[in-house]
Amino acid sequence: MTRKVEVAIIGAGTAGLTAMSQIKQAGKDFVLINGGHLGTTCARVGCMPSKALIQVAEDFHRRKILKRHHILGGENLSIDLPGVMEHVQDLRDIFVDRVLQGSTDNMGDELIEGYASFVDPHTLRVNDETIEAERIVIAAGSTPIFPDAWKAFGDRVVTTDEFFELETLPKSLAVIGLGVIGLELGQALARLGIDVTGIDTLERISGLTDPVVNAEAISVIGEEFPLWLGHPAEIEAGEDGLLRVSAGEQSVTVEKVLVSMGRRPYLDHLKLENAGVPLDARGLPTYDPETMQVGDSHIYIAGDVDGDAPILHEAGDEGRIAGYNAARGSAERFIRKTMLAITFCEPNIVNVGRCWSALEADPDVVAAEMPMGPVGRALIMAKNKGVIRVYAHKQTGRLLGGALFAAKGEGLGHLLAWAIQQNLTVFDTLNLPFYHPTLEEALQGALQRLVAKLEIQPDAPVGLKRKTL
């Protein structure tokens, strides 16, 4: 028998759950179909357990500053690694439970556990059930990229899907891929005393296209663990069950490898070819990011599966837009937020607004940088490594973007993103309060240096706005 609903949602992650909330609010009948574990990527294997591990690593790493602060005994601190993993798992379980309690727990038959496949544009097959839906939201999520050849190494080569399940940590580990998660976990593990080697085919880390910030980040983080950049990694079996990992001329023997080469949209079960929608060269449905509608169809898409910005608040917005439109069969347009992408290494790496690679060829764009060294509060905190670089339009002074490698970069990134989304100029932004002594003054310093590079100059001292009656 075929079950008929107004909306079918494929995937109970952040995007799917947010879409469901809109569909419920609109009073539509729906099913939520989820393959694999319930609980979001964020809570299960992403943002949350990684932050828990990072926090412990940061607290342990801080022992190195205690002597400067005349706190005695820091050299005798030690770490209980199985205990750390248990702590991370305990917190992870709390966050997963919170997600489930707020969503799929006690949902009844509106929740179907199983992988959905398209039979035709309006028909899905799940387990042995057939669902006919007027509209469909695809929010199937993503899965770690993992080269097939490395499956032969079994559980010695892991992704974040397995990493947080470890009962303890290895003595040595190579991190292959220095994007967000690779850099976060690589640094955290190095700080916990693991012998970590970081490897990436690119010459830049964490998606940084700003050469100044990238160079500083590589230099500073490279002091904590070696970063081998510019060559692909290879893995071979070594002696005693160890693995030999090579890149370019270099190689190292390790107990484990963490593969963090990014995540790909999880299309494996969908049979998108039956959905009757346009697919791009990657096999992804082509959609409008302001409506989340796929082509001009009854199908909407949201979250990591769309191949764009795998960031929780963006997945939430996409789910909200897709859900709103799927509930109504509409294609209402919504403004997307200014890009804000944070890597929670220390100092934080933050990309805001338009990236440097998209701007550098434009002769009307100027950039200025502020090193963290002279920032008073950063010196007090013993966190005065790093640099902030900001970009603006030379003629108008309008802020366009920035890259930060700075303590508390996560907070500074919010401020910069908020300014950019509101179309503020450098002058407008400098008219807002910057408290003393805070790290926000580093952002203020970068903006002040940017003023000197603009073609326009204000009619009032920088930092003040004339009152016009």
Identify residues 332-371 at the interface with a second copy (CB under 8 A). Answer: 332-335, 337-338, 340, 342
- Would you list the DSSP string of 147-173? -GGGGGGGGGEE-HHHHTT-SS--SEE
Q: How far is the CB of 405 from a second copy (least distance, A)?
A: 16
Q: Is 300 in the site for a second copy (CB under 8 A)?
A: no
Measured in whole angstroms, the distance separating CA 394 from the mean position of its chain's CA atoms is: 30
Using CB under 8 A as the binding rule, the residues of this chain from 241 to 270 that contact a second copy are none
Using CB under 8 A as the binding rule, the residues of this chain from 376 to 395 that contact a second copy are 376-377, 379-382
The 96-135 site mask, x for binding a second copy (CB under 8 A), equals --x-------------------------------------
Give the C-alpha separation, 340 to 180, whole Å: 13
Give the C-alpha separation, 349 to 372, whole Å: 13
Give the C-alpha separation, 431 to 425, whole Å: 10
Give the C-alpha separation, 207 to 181, whole Å: 11
Q: How far is the CB of 4 from a second copy (least distance, A)?
A: 26
Q: Is 438 in the site for a second copy (CB under 8 A)?
A: yes
Q: Is 464 in the site for a second copy (CB under 8 A)?
A: yes
- Choice from 29, 37, 64, 80 touching a second copy (CB under 8 A): 80
* Nearest CA among 44, 35, 26 for reference residue 111: 35
* Closer residue to a second copy (CB): 233 or 312: 312
Q: How far is the CB of 243 from a second copy (least distance, A)?
A: 27
Q: Is 24 in the site for a second copy (CB under 8 A)?
A: no
* Closer residue to a second copy (CB): 85 or 252: 85
- Would you list the DSSP string of 387-438? EEEEEEETTT-BEEEEEEEETTHHHHHHHHHHHHHTT-BHHHHHTS---TTS
Q: How far is the CB of 160 from a second copy (least distance, A)?
A: 15
Q: Is 19 in the site for a second copy (CB under 8 A)?
A: no
* Closer residue to a second copy (CB): 153 or 334: 334
Q: How far is the CB of 258 from a second copy (least distance, A)?
A: 20
The answer for residues whose C-beta is within 8 angstroms of residue 388's C-beta and 6 or more apart is: 213, 369, 370, 372, 402, 403, 404, 405, 406, 409, 412, 442, 443, 445, 446
* Closer residue to a second copy (CB): 264 or 408: 408
Q: What does the angle CA 456 – CA 462 – CA 463 come to, to the nearest 5 degrees?
A: 135
Rg of the chain in Å (alpha carbons): 24
Choices 104-112, 215-223, 248-256, 418-426 (CB under 8 A): range interacting with a second copy:
418-426
Q: Is 87 in the site for a second copy (CB under 8 A)?
A: yes
Largest CA distance in the chain: 80
Q: Is 282 in the site for a second copy (CB under 8 A)?
A: no
The phi and psi torsions of 401 (rounded to 5 degrees) equal 180, -175
* Closer residue to a second copy (CB): 87 or 453: 87
Q: Is 433 in the site for a second copy (CB under 8 A)?
A: yes
The 440-459 site mask, x for binding a second copy (CB under 8 A), equals x-------------------
Q: Which two tokens stand for residue 419?
A: 């300014």
Q: Is 52 in the site for a second copy (CB under 8 A)?
A: yes
Q: Which two tokens stand for residue 78?
A: 């030690």
* Nearest CA among 293, 294, 300, 335 for reference residue 317: 335
Choices 219-227, 354-362, 373-381, 384-392 (CB under 8 A): range interacting with a second copy:
373-381
The sign of the dihedral angle between the CA atoms of 5, 6, 11, 12 is negative
Judge whether 30 and 110 are in contact, CB under 8 Å: yes
Q: Is 150 in the site for a second copy (CB under 8 A)?
A: no
* Closer residue to a second copy (CB): 307 or 310: 310
The phi and psi torsions of 448 (rounded to 5 degrees) equal -60, -40
Choices 86-94, 116-124, 243-251, 399-407 (CB under 8 A): range interacting with a second copy:
86-94
- Choice from 1, 2, 27, 68 touching a second copy (CB under 8 A): 68
Q: Strand order in 250-254's β-sheet?
A: 233-237, 243-247, 250-254
* Closer residue to a second copy (CB): 238 or 376: 376
